[in-house]
């Protein structure tokens, strides 16, 4: 019998903003604030917890909602039942219709707070929170992974990150990853720096100057690379 992970009672405590130091240097006007960074980290913690709960309940990590080989709805919809207070929204979707069907389009505006942008250029109903999608990455189209499949270790593998570009939260669109192509840009909310929840549920801030080889190693689930973690905190 699988154990359903549930520590939702701790979530309100995560929502407390970190105190601002009185001797902290002044930020340029419009620059990201510590409160915005904390809010995004909290969002990622909740998303990561929902991922873990999905795996505990179903034996696999979530994928996009599929019809045959065609993706209809995002994994962001699939994990709604594993977030506090979002089951009713999930039940409102027609899971056999695409994200942009007449019925499902009406639900885009009901984006949960956990997916909303804390800053950056995003329209209502859009999110920056995305997985890497492609061969060898966390989200592999048509294949449902388990945590046991993450041979590089859950503490060394990215699960959800802040992308450069926002997308409709229900749309099955994520960050494309191809090991033979240049890495995509990240950090649309924090000017190149980005936050990420790893597969062990921990949340890290990653600097935009991170070594590309290190970032590639963090993206792959079973690449066997040695990871230098100097670019995150």
Mean pLDDT confidence for 127-147: 95
Q: Which of 112, 94, 115, 111 is nearest to 103 (CA)?
A: 94
**pLDDT given at position 131:** 98
Share of the chain above pLDDT 90, in %: 80
Q: Is 58 helix (H, G, I), strand (E, B) or coil?
A: helix
Give one word for 187, left, alpha or beta, with left for phi > 0 and alpha for psi -120 to 50.
Answer: left
* pTM (2 d.p.): 0.85
Farthest CA pair distance, the chain: 57
**pLDDT given at position 15:** 30
pLDDT band at 142 (very low <50, low <70, confident <90, very high): confident
Q: Residue 91: CB partners within 8 Å, gap ≥ 6?
A: none
Return the H-helix or E-strand segment holding 190.
Answer: none
**pLDDT given at position 233:** 59
Measure the CA–CA gap between 80 and 153, rounded to whole angstroms: 26
Mean pLDDT confidence for 148-165: 97
pLDDT band at 227 (very low <50, low <70, confident <90, very high): low
pLDDT of 210 over the 80 cut: yes
Model confidence pLDDT, tens digit, residues 30-42: 789 999 999 999 9
Question: What integer best gives the mean pLDDT of the chain?
Answer: 88
**pLDDT given at position 31:** 87
Domain range list for the chain: 33-219
């Amino acid at each position: 019998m699988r154990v359903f992970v549930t520590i939702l009672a701790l979530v309100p405590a995560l929502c407390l903003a970190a105190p601002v130091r009185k001797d902290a240097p002044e930020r340029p006007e419009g620059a990201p604030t510590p409160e915005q960074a904390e809010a995004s980290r909290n969002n990622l913690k909740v998303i990561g917890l929902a991922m873990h709960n999905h795996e505990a309940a179903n034996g696999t990590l979530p994928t996009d909602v599929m019809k045959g080989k065609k993706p209809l709805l995002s994994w962001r919809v699939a994990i709604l039942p594993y977030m506090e207070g979002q089951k009713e929204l999930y039940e409102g979707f027609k899971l056999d219709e695409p994200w942009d069907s007449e019925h499902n389009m009406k639900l885009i505006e009901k984006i949960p707070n956990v997916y909303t942008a804390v800053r950056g250029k995003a329209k209502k109903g859009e999110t920056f929170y995305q997985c890497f999608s492609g061969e060898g990455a966390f989200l592999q189209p048509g294949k449902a992974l388990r945590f046991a499949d993450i041979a590089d270790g859950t503490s060394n593998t990215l699960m959800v990150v802040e992308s450069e570009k926002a997308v409709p939260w229900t749309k099955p669109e994520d960050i494309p990853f191809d090991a033979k192509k240049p890495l995509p840009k990240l950090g649309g909310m924090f000017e190149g720096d980005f936050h990420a929840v790893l597969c062990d549920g921990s949340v890290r801030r990653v600097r935009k100057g991170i070594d590309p080889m290190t970032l590639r190693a963090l993206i792959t689930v079973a690449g066997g690379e040695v990871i230098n973690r100097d670019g995150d905190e």
